[in-house]
Amino acid sequence: MEDEVIHSKIVAIASGKGGVGKTVVSASLGVGLSMLGKKVVMLDADFGGANLHKVMGIEKSSQTFLDFYSYPYTRLNEILIEHPYFNNLRLAMGVGDSMALSNLQYYRRMKFIRHLDKIDADFIILDLGAGSSYNVMDFFLIADYGIVMINPETLSILDGYNFVKKAFFRKLAKTFKVHQEVSELIKESASDHTECKKTVVKNLLEKVKSLDGGMGEKMEKFIDGFHPMLIINKVDKSKDENKGLAVMVAAKKMLSIEMKYLGFIHKDDNVEESVEENIPFIFRDSRSRASKDLGKLILQNILNNGKMQSVMKQQKLVKEIEQKWKEDGSDVI
């Protein structure tokens, strides 16, 4: 029974740099889902600076990730603690700034990923560390909802784009690692900072296609199926949302990646005050702007993802029709 594989939806929130709001939004996302009756497990996967438990109002626990990694037979299930106030919500606590855990060895990362399958929940939320270490990227890449969070600042936007790029090339390289020539081309493109910057993945695809048609097709399918998601947090002015959307435009233009936009969350005093009080902001004041934004995002884009995917497919179809129309257009005229 214990080793049964359960298919929970894994949500992982990453960002280029720290301080964008991953932890506070993860906490409120978990609480929001649990209040809607979903079984939620929250994992503090920021092994270098764990603070999710604090934001969730928990001081300490007898079990942490240190136990999970120190003892080979300890299961992830065993370090989960029930939240004292919220129903349906369990949490695995990290440890302050543990050097031992901040850059996990490969076998420890694999243990974590293996054990995720055995957790009984509707949603597992991973609050990731900042940056693009292998820990962060590999957890991001196994998620059903791999979310990149940014703020509407130029640096944060660039960091967010860079994160998407690194994660994309890591998964691409892993997928094609058995094909040596294709792997070489991927490596070249990933480190290409000069030539044809604007269409780096399109160029790669063309090269792979002329090398091996079948591989080209496989890569095209891979790109079509890669949809990292975006949340813009701390939106203040009306133009902030558009500014943040630049990440999606850049990913499309340079990497040929279609990101999914989940929505934005306003900059809101309720969030800052909730951190002071160690209460997730959605619970502290469910009518504040940030809480309403997150509520809408959960209802429309997290719980209704199936519907969204079919809308995405239709949009793709429309694009294909448009493209065909353009191509055939000259003949018609």
Ligand X SMILES: Nc1ncnc2c1ncn2[C@@H]1O[C@H](COP(=O)(O)OP(=O)(O)O)[C@@H](O)[C@H]1O
User: H/E element holding 228?
Assistant: none
- Shortest Cβ distance from residue 137 to ligand X (Å)? 16
- Shortest Cβ distance from residue 329 to Mg ion (Å)? 50
User: Which CA distances in Å does 170 have to 134, 176, 199, 201, 329?
Assistant: 9, 10, 18, 13, 39
- Shortest Cβ distance from residue 22 to Mg ion (Å)? 5
Q: Which of residues 8-67 bind ligand X (CB under 6 A)?
A: 15, 18-24
User: Which CA distances in Å does 307 have to 84, 304, 318?
Assistant: 34, 5, 17
- When the beta carbons of 15 and 64 are compared against ligand X, the nearer one is 15
- When the beta carbons of 18 and 57 are compared against ligand X, the nearer one is 18
Residue 267 contacts which entry, Mg ion, ligand X, none (Cβ below 5-8 A, type-dependent):
ligand X
- Shortest Cβ distance from residue 303 to ligand X (Å)? 21
Q: Which of residues 243-272 bind ligand X (CB under 6 A)?
A: 265, 267-268, 271-272
- Shortest Cβ distance from residue 157 to ligand X (Å)? 15
Tell me which of 38, 83, 234, 243 binds ligand X, using CB under 6 A: 234
Residues found near Mg ion in the complex (CB under 5 A): 22-23
Extract the tokens encoding 211: 């090398």
Q: For residues 133 and 17, is the Cβ–Cβ distance under 8 A?
A: no
> Which residues make Cβ contacts (< 8 Å) with residue 213, sequence separation at least 6?
none
- When the beta carbons of 20 and 124 are compared against ligand X, the nearer one is 20
* Helix, strand, coil % in the chain, rounded to nearest 5: 55, 15, 30
- When the beta carbons of 23 and 151 are compared against Mg ion, the nearer one is 23
If one asks whether residue 275 binds ligand X (CB under 6 A), the answer comes out as yes
Q: Packing angle between helix 106-116 and helix 134-142, nearest 10 degrees? A: 20
- When the beta carbons of 48 and 263 are compared against Mg ion, the nearer one is 48
Bridge partners of 149, per DSSP, are 231
Binding mask 281-320 for ligand X (x = CB under 6 A): ---------x------------------------------
CA nearest to 92, candidates 67, 129, 122: 67
Q: Cα–Cα distance between 156 and 87 in angstroms, integer?
A: 35
Q: Cα–Cα distance between 26 and 16 in angstroms, integer?
A: 16
- When the beta carbons of 26 and 189 are compared against Mg ion, the nearer one is 26
Under the rule (CB under 6 A), what is the footprint of ligand X? Answer: 15, 18-24, 130, 233-234, 265, 267-268, 271-272, 275, 290
